[in-house]
């Protein structure tokens, strides 16, 4: 829901950083892989309840995720790069709640499992429609410079990262936030399935 606003806010600084990386011969896929590696460091830190430090690596992962896209727009967007980026993004998203579960299984396990379950819904509906949109040549009017069709929803990347930040700042409330955000994710899933189905039927 907020992605179109956040993208506009960070587009210029990311583009300037991407130009410097391009001058140094750094490739977009290298930035993607490095960002994922940095994000993976958040998992053991969450498990050890080092939430502030974990938040640093979560933030770095998201910064690098923006950088690889800006760099790809300079060097040329590819299907392989888009595939790598979105695959690692969804792995990262599911890894964060798993870290909280490891930190406190008794309090967080069921809520964390529900949140990951909800991520499967948002992720599968997002990717399934992207495949069909690409097959039928349906263009996204908002995110024209993406390698995949980005289907909007109540819970997009900006909302998810905001939730992760709040969880790291207030870890004792992880379970409550996981339940609430999971419900919002299911609202996104159902609306995506409904609108996606009818879009494909009407486009037939």
Q: What is the CATH number of the domain that holds 168?
A: 1.20.120.1760
Place of tokens 């990951």: 116
The two structure tokens encoding residue 80? 């392989």
Does residue 202 have a pLDDT over 80?
no
- Convert the pLDDT of each residue in 156-196 to its tens digit: 878 999 999 999 999 999 999 999 999 999 999 998 898 88
19 pLDDT above the threshold of 80: yes
Query: Measured between alpha carbons, how far is 8 from 97 in angstroms, rounded to an integer?
Result: 28
Angle at which helix 51-75 crosses helix 157-169, to 10 degrees, equals: 160
- pLDDT tens, position by position, 80-122: 998 999 999 999 999 999 999 999 999 999 999 999 999 999 9
Residues in the chain: 204
Count of structural domains, the chain: 1
Q: Which domain holds residue 75?
A: 3-203
Q: What pTM, to 2 d.p., does this model score?
A: 0.85
pLDDT of residue 4: 61
């Amino acid at each position: 829901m907020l992605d179109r606003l956040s993208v506009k806010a960070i587009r210029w600084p990311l583009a300037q950083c991407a130009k410097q990386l391009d001058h140094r011969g750094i490739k977009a896929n290298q930035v993607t892989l490095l960002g994922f590696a940095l994000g993976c460091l958040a998992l053991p830190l969450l498990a050890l309840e080092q939430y502030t430090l974990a938040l640093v690596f979560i933030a770095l992962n998201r910064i690098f995720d923006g950088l690889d896209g800006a760099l790809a727009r300079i060097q040329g967007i590819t299907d392989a790069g888009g595939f790598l980026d979105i695959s690692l993004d969804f792995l990262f998203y599911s890894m964060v709640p798993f870290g909280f579960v490891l930190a406190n299984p008794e309090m967080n396990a069921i809520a964390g499992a529900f949140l990951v379950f909800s991520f499967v819904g948002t992720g599968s509906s997002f990717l399934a429609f992207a495949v069909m949109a690409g097959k039928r040549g349906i263009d996204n009017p908002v995110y024209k410079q993406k390698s995949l069709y980005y289907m909007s929803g109540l819970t997009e990347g900006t909302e998810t990262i905001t939730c992760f930040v709040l969880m790291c700042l207030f870890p004792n409330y992880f379970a409550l936030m996981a339940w609430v955000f999971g419900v919002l994710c299911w609202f996104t899933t159902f609306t995506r399935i409904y609108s996606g189905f009818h879009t494909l039927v009407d486009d037939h």
